[in-house]
Every structure is written in structure tokens, then in C-alpha cells.
Structure 1
Amino acid sequence: MTKIILATRTFKETFYQQIESIVPDYQFVVDDGQQSINWSQVVITIGWKSAWEKHLLTEESNLKWVQAISAGVDTLPLASFAQRQILVSNGSGIHAQSITDHLLALLFMENRGIFEAIHLQQQHKWAPDDIPYATLADKRILIVGTGQIGQQLAKALTFFGVQPIGINTSGHPVDGFTETYALNDLFAQSRLADYVINILPLTKETTHLYNQDFFDQLKATASFYNVGRGPSVDTKALAESLKAKQFAFAALDVFEEEPLPNNDPLWSVDNLLITPHISGHTPHFQKAFMEIFLENLASFVKQETLTKNEIDLSKGY
């Protein structure tokens, strides 16, 4: 029986050749909605479409492995995958440098008063005394999520003299962080922070983790950035807290609803920067993704195991 790798997108020819060299008996199929797919032959998918569930989560299905393209897998039917013992891996690490660059840009723009300078320029106003400035090394930066992205950011911040503080599930030490604390310590550490940066995956525990109680206890001068998952933030509470000046500034790249509706109240919040889920946009994405997929593919065909980025389906990350 011909086996199929079913993908949601196309890749460069050179990667098809590398796949064929590893699994010459597999056929690579892109689901463009225009062709008939023999679903019983699908063993591996790259990406996932909800429309596939009725075909691939059945007794007749031979699906063994889903390679997600993104780092987040919260939109996938993980419980069904676990029930059927389907392996899942993600694209974690691909976006680490791009998201780090995005966050560094925000931090430097805030600390050097660039946002205020843009606002003054729009008013044709020369007012250097109205532009705040600070040194990044003097700031206490709390990174919530110490995975590959958090570690890359911590490494970059250390270069600029920052002593990054990390939050993870258990508080276990992680290279690059001066201190690490458990998620249960989030509020206590956030009260001390100048910046709180969320990079957590979305789970039951992290949904609306950042709620009114969280925003109420931030310092009035603090900033909050979210490049993790949109539903981690109660955006109504965030908007109300920003308008009341309970804390100074927020930058959101991800949202509870995407695209963000053009009538959403968030658009009119002055001390909020909205970017349209671009922090992870990565040059040479295909090359970085295929480094993960091809290594996993070689391992999978030998012993049906994965060597990179396997998801613990009981945890969701």
C-alpha cells in the first residue's frame, strides 16, 4: 500500500527530494481542496485541518503522526490523538529568533522613548523633555515561559546587561535565567517586575491567566507583552486596566479572536500597541521547519519515535 504524507501547504522541490530519499515508498500530497485523497493511506500529516477529522480520526484511519507547523498545538484535537496513540510534534524553536527580535524592538522603543517621539512628530511638536528614557539593564524583566523562545530572549537580554527572571511550571532552573520561579509565584514576581512577557502555550491552566486580578497588582509603571497565545489574556480586563492607568503599557501580538474585528475596543486604547500576529514571521521558514521534520521522519520510519519537539499529549505542550 502506498503511504501518504498529507500537507496543508507546498514546499520547495529540494525538500520533496530529501523526503523521498528517506521514505521512497511514501507519496507527498498537498490538500488544496481540488483532488481526491485516499484517506486510509495517510500515515503522516504536516499541519492539520479541522475538515480532516472526519476522515483521519476513524477506525479505518492509519494516521500515526501529526507534525504541526506552529509551536502552539492548542487548536488540535489532542484528546483524540491521545486516544488513538497518534504522535504529535510541533514547530517550536523555528520562531525563537524572530520573536526575540520583535520583543527587543519593543523594549528598546519603550526605553528610548521612540513611541513618544512618533506621537510628538505627528503633532509637529519638538519637546525633548516630554520623551522618557531609561537603560534596559536597569529593568526587571519577567519572562513567563522558559522554553526555546524564552531562553533565546533571556540570552539576548543578558548581552544587554539584564538579569532575566523566568517563570515555568515547577520553577526548575533554566540556563540563561538569573532566577526561576513556579507558575504559582506569578503574581508575587509580577508585582516586582518592570516588564512581564508572556510566551506560554495555551492550556486549561493558562487560559485567562492574565485576568483583572493580575492587572490590578502590576506596578503603575509596568508593561505587559503577549507573544504567546491570545486566550491567555482576558482582553476586556486588560483594556479596562490600561484605560484606568493601572499599569503603563501593553503590546499584544496575539488575541482571543483573530483577525481582531475592526470594531473591537482594543483599537482605541491609547497605551496599547497592536501587531497582527507577526512576531513569529521568520525568513527561511521552510529550511528551519524541514530541519525538524526530516530528523523526525528519519526516526519515525526506523522505530516510530520522534526525536524533536514531541508533544506530551497529557499536558498539551
Structure 2
Amino acid sequence: MMRPRVLVLAPDADRYLAELGALASSGTELVAAPAAQGALDDPRAFPVVLGQPDIVAEYLAGGAEVRWIQSTWAGVGPLLSQARRGFVLTGVKDVFGAPITDYVMAYVLAFEIKLRERLGRQARRSWWPEDSGSPTGKTMGILGTGSIGRHLAKVAAAFGMRVTGLSRSGRRVDGFDAVFPVRRLAEFLSEADYVVCTLPDTPATRGLLDKDAFAALKKSAYLVNVGRGPVLDEFALADALERGDMAGAALDVFVEEPLPRDNPLWHARNCIVTAHVAARSLPADIAAIFRENYERFLSGESLKFRIDIDRGY
């Protein structure tokens, strides 16, 4: 049987090729392209694409036709507008939970021990014996109860935290003390000491955390965003931080990346900005998912981690 040709479309495409050697050995033709234009200039057809969503979206916009796209990212926002082109879209799950949890808990602990203030005092040679806080007994509210949210919930609970979740349905999920439906967002936010956003960028989530949402928070609450930037209103967040309506924030994702130099979040009170580093796509992990799905594709089986285009995840 003819094995479908695969286009690997990502800046680090060569790294993926190195991980997919077994497929090449079994007769699958693999072609690497770091950018969309190079792939569009190739006259060959590529029924299967393994690639970075924003670059794949450019490739599709250029008129390419494919049958299946395997994303190298957890978020597939750039591809959602292309969804009616007749292809199957699969995502990435069960590989980002650990690194994102590390990121979130690192900043929870940093806020609790007042790390920024202590470092500032050290720089000024100022002795500051202020007591630290503790996550134990506090509530972490996680927006999103998928694989990342569940992994984080387990670790937060091990720190003695009460863990609540927010999902579209509010259906109970193991590992969460309670799960709220989206219609009870204000109540969910009002109970949390730490609000952690793991949500994807979809029409339903875009702008969910707005001025009214920030007004529902405790003044002592912190926000950590490891989902997608468009889920929150950045200017409303900066205003809430400056007014002292909330205690602080750690943000790894933004509407525009790199974050523009004139964005107010750079200098907002007690706001930590990081450059989308909470989790990165490791070729070895993504390639393992792709290899399994490729064999499923050949045999006509259902693919793992298929994206529901209407929901965006």
C-alpha cells in the first residue's frame, strides 16, 4: 500500500525528521520545510502535514489541500478559521502538564514567599524579616479541566490547596474539589486565591477574563496565565493591578508576541512577564504522538487527540 507523503512544516523541521527515522525506513516519504512559502513552491502533494499551526495556516491560505494535520502545539487557534477545508485536525495532549505545572507552582511559591520583594531588599542591603505565606489551605481556581488542568490540580492538592475548576459544562472531574460551569464564573473567581488560566483561544473563551471578571477577584488574589493571551483583556488586567484590585499576576502568554514594548503589563504593579516559556513543544514527544496517529491513519482507525473544530479543542 502506498504510504501518504508527509510534510513537516516547522522552523525546527529537521529535528522532527530525526525523530521520525523509523517512518522513513518503512517507506514513508518525509519532506521538511521551515516556512510556508518553501512548501508551496514544492509541486508535490502532501496528504499529511505535521506542523506549527501558524505556519500551516499560511500554507493552507496559499491553496494547499491536505487530509490530516497534526499540530506541534497544544493550541491550534490559527487553524480554526481553516476548519471547513475538509481535513482532520489533531492536537497534542499529555505532554505539557508537567512543565506547565512546574511553572505555575514556581510562581505560586514565589508570590507566597514574597520573592520579588526579598530580592529587592537584598539589592538595597535592607534586612527584611517579614513572614512568608504558604499555599496550604488556599484555593486554586483552574480555568480548564483538561489534561493540563488535571495535572496541575493533582500537584496543587499535594501542596495542601483546595482546587476548583471551571469548564463549559461544570461536570465533576476527578482531582477537583468542585467544578463550576462558565455561567458561574464570578462565583468561581470570588473564591480563588490563585486563578490559573489553561484555556485555549476559541470564540467562546476570547475575552472571558475582562473588567467584570477582575472585579470579582479578592484583592489578595493572584492570576497566572499559561493558556492563551486572548482569553483575557490585557488593558483591563493592567488597570486592575494598578488600582490594587488584585495582588499580582504571572503571565506567559499574550495577545501579541513578542509583547509590544508599550504594553502596560510590562510595568504593571507586581506583574511578572515571561516569554511563552512555560512549556515548549519537544520534537521527541510530538513525534511519538504523530507516529502512533500515522499508523492509525493508514489503517483507518480513529486518530488520537482529534480537535473538535466548533469548540476549538
Per the normalisation by structure 1, the TM-score is: 0.90
Which residue does 1:30 correspond to in 2? 33
Letter of the 2:245 counterpart: Q
1:216 aligns with 2:218: no
Pair 1:292-2:289 in alignment: yes
> Structure 2: any 5+ residue segments left out of the alignment?
none
2 CA distance for matches of 1:269 and 1:171?
Answer: 33
The 8 Å contact of residues 137 and 162 in structure 2, kept in 1 or not, is answered as: no
1:65 aligns with 2:68: yes
Which of 53, 58, 61 is the equivalent residue of 2:60? 53
Is 2:110 the partner of 1:109?
yes
* Residues 234 and 19 of structure 1: CA distance in aligned 2, closer, same or farther (over 3 Å): same
User: In the alignment, is the contact (CA less than 8 A) between 2:16 and 2:284 conserved in 1?
Assistant: no
CA drift at 1:267: 1.3
Question: How far apart are residue 157 of structure 1 and its match?
Answer: 1.2
Instruction: Please give the alpha-carbon distance, in whole angstroms, between the structure 2 residues aligned to 1:161 and 1:211.
Output: 29
C-alpha deviation, 1:87, in angstroms: 0.5
- Cα distance between partner residues in 2 of 1:259 and 1:55: 25
Bigger Cα displacement from structure 2, 245-254 vs 116-125: 116-125
Give the match's secondary structure for 1:10: helix
Shift of 1:3: 4.1
Q: CA RMSD in A?
A: 2.0
For 1:121-154, what per-residue CA distance to the aligned partner results, in whole angstroms no more than 9, with x for missing partners? 122211113xx42221111110110111111101
Residues 293-308 of structure 1: matches in 2 within 5 Å?
293-303=290-300, 305-306=302-303, 308=304
The 8 Å contact of residues 89 and 310 in structure 1, kept in 2 or not, is answered as yes
Partner-residue secondary structure (3-state), 1:214: helix
Residue of structure 1 in register with 2:263 after alignment:
264
| Contact 2:144 2:167 (8 Å CA) reproduced | yes
Q: Read off the aligned partner of 1:299 and give its amino acid letter.
A: R
CA apart distance, 1:316: 1.1
Residue 16 of structure 1: aligned partner:
20
In 1, distance between residues paired with 2:220 and 2:16? 47
The equivalent of 2:82 in structure 1 is 80
Structure 2 partner of 1:159: 158
Matched ranges for 1:109-258 at <5 A: 109-129=110-130, 132-258=131-257
The one-letter amino acid of 1:73's match is V
Deviation string 1:27-67 (CA, Å, 9 cap, x unpaired) is 3333455574124x21111114233124445xxx3x11011
Q: Tell me by how many angstroms 1:4 deviates.
A: 2.5
Q: Is the 8 A contact 1:2 1:27 kept in 2?
A: no
Match of 2:311 in 1: 315
Distance of 1:54 and 1:153 partners within structure 2: 36
Is there any run of 5+ residues in structure 1 with no aligned partner, and where?
A: none
Letter matched to residue 297 of structure 2: F
* Per-residue deviation, 1:13: 5.5
Partners of 2:78 and 2:16 in 1: how far apart? 27
Task: Tell me by how many angstroms 1:240 deviates.
Answer: 0.7
Amino acid paired to 1:69: T
CA distance in 2, matches of 1:72, 1:214: 23
Q: How far apart in 1 are the matches of 2:142 and 2:61?
A: 39
Tell me which residue corresponds to 2:277.
Answer: 278
2:17–2:32 contact (8 Å) kept in structure 1: no
SS at match of 2:293: helix
- Cα deviation for residue 270 of structure 1 reads 2.5
Which stretch has the larger CA shift, 3-12 or 221-230? 3-12
TM-aligned CA distance change 1:268 to 1:80, over 3 Å: closer
Counterpart CA distance in 1 for 2:17 and 2:258 is 32
Give the alignment's TM-score, normalised by structure 2.
0.91
Q: Is the 8 A contact 1:6 1:31 kept in 2?
A: no
> Which amino acid is 1:101 matched to?
D
**CA distance in 2 between partners of 1:301 and 1:108 (Å):** 47
Q: Secondary structure of 1:100's match?
A: helix
2:256 partner SS: coil
- Residue 47 of structure 2 is matched in structure 1 by 43
Stretch of structure 1 that moved more, 2-11 or 97-106: 2-11
